[in-house]
């Protein structure tokens, strides 16, 4: 278990397409996930993709616990998602504010599919198949974008809605993905 350095925007490794995981329930995969969890927790993140710690594999983790300080924040179950497939469903596009551990201190307004189905496997190879909306759908799309070398600023349409968290949301603590 190790807290790893999170790569920041500008590092070419964040722009690569990650390779699928071929074997599940291996010491290598469990070790990667332990490092990802430690790293995400140390930074109070809502999600993390393996490429963000320099591992070019199609592995993401995410999860948001209900927090009494932010009763309106939607909770998202703690999830390990490997080799994901995201399918947009007919729910339209929704804009929402995002942050990213690889783009520290900034937020941007990003359009995402409001309703998606996502499939993949957990670390033991068990299938995952969920249909989700809202913030849960947003987090999944953000994390899976990392596997294709896409960072959220590349999806912002109105660049006037991109800036420093402290200026955009004075006094508010926010989690990054
Ligand atoms: Ni991110």
Q: What is the pLDDT of residue 137?
A: 98
> Residue 11 Cα, ligand 1 centroid: separation in angstroms?
13
Neighbour count for residue 41 (Cβ, 10 Å) = 12
CA of residue 59 to ligand 1 center, whole Å: 13
Q: What is the pLDDT along the chain (177 residues), one digit of tens a residue?
A: 799 999 999 999 999 999 999 999 999 999 999 999 999 999 999 999 999 999 999 999 999 987 666 666 789 999 999 999 999 999 999 999 999 999 999 999 999 999 999 999 999 999 999 999 999 999 999 999 999 999 999 999 999 999 999 999 998 878 887
What is the distance in A from the centroid of ligand 1 to the CA of 46?
9
The CA 110 to ligand 1 mean position distance, Å, reads 12
Whether 62 and 140 have beta carbons less than 8 Å apart is answered as yes
Which pLDDT does position 176 carry in this prediction? 81
Q: Going from the N-terminus, what domains does the chain have, and what CATH number goes with each?
A: 12-168 (3.90.45.10)
Closest CA to 22 of 54, 59, 74: 59
d(CA 79, CA 90): 24
The CB density around residue 18, as the number of other CB atoms within 10 Å, is 20
* DSSP states of the chain: --PPPPP-TT-GGGGSPPBPP---S-HHHHHHHHHHHHHHHHTT-SEEEGGGGT--BSEEEEEE---TTSTTSPPEEEEEEEEEEEEE-SS-EEEEEEEETTEEEEEEEEEEESEEEEEEE-TTS-EEEEEEEHHHHHHHHHHHHHHTT--GGGG-S-GGGEEEHHHHSTT------
Amino acid 110: pLDDT: 98
**According to the model, what pLDDT value does residue 68 have?**
63
Q: Which tokens belong to 43?
A: 């930074």
Residues noted as catalytic: 143
Indicate left, alpha or beta for 59 from its phi (over 0: left) and psi (-120 to 50: alpha). Answer: beta
The rounded Å distance from CA 153 to ligand 1 centre is: 10
Write down the pTM of the prediction.
Answer: 0.95
d(CA 35, CA 19) in angstroms, rounded, equals 19
Q: How high is the pLDDT of residue 48?
A: 98
């Amino acid at each position: 278990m190790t807290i790893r350095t999170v790569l920041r925007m500008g590092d070419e490794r964040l722009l690569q397409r990650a390779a699928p995981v071929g074997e599940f329930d291996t010491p290598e995969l469990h070790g990667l996930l332990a490092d990802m969890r430690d790293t995400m927790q140390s930074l109070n993140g809502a999600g993390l993709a393996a490429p963000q710690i320099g591992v070019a594999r199609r592995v993401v983790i995410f999860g948001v616990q209900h927090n009494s300080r932010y009763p309106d924040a939607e909770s998202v179950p703690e999830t390990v998602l490997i080799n994901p497939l995201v399918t947009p469903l007919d729910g339209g596009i929704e804009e929402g504010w995002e942050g990213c551990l690889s783009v520290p201190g900034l937020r941007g307004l990003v359009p995402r599919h409001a309703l998606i189905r996502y499939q993949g496997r957990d670390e033991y190879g068990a299938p995952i198949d969920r249909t989700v909306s809202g913030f849960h759908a947003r987090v999944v799309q953000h994390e899976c974008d990392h596997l294709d070398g896409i960072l959220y600023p590349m999806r912002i349409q109105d660049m006037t809605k991109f800036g420093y968290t402290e200026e955009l949301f004075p006094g508010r603590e926010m989690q990054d993905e």
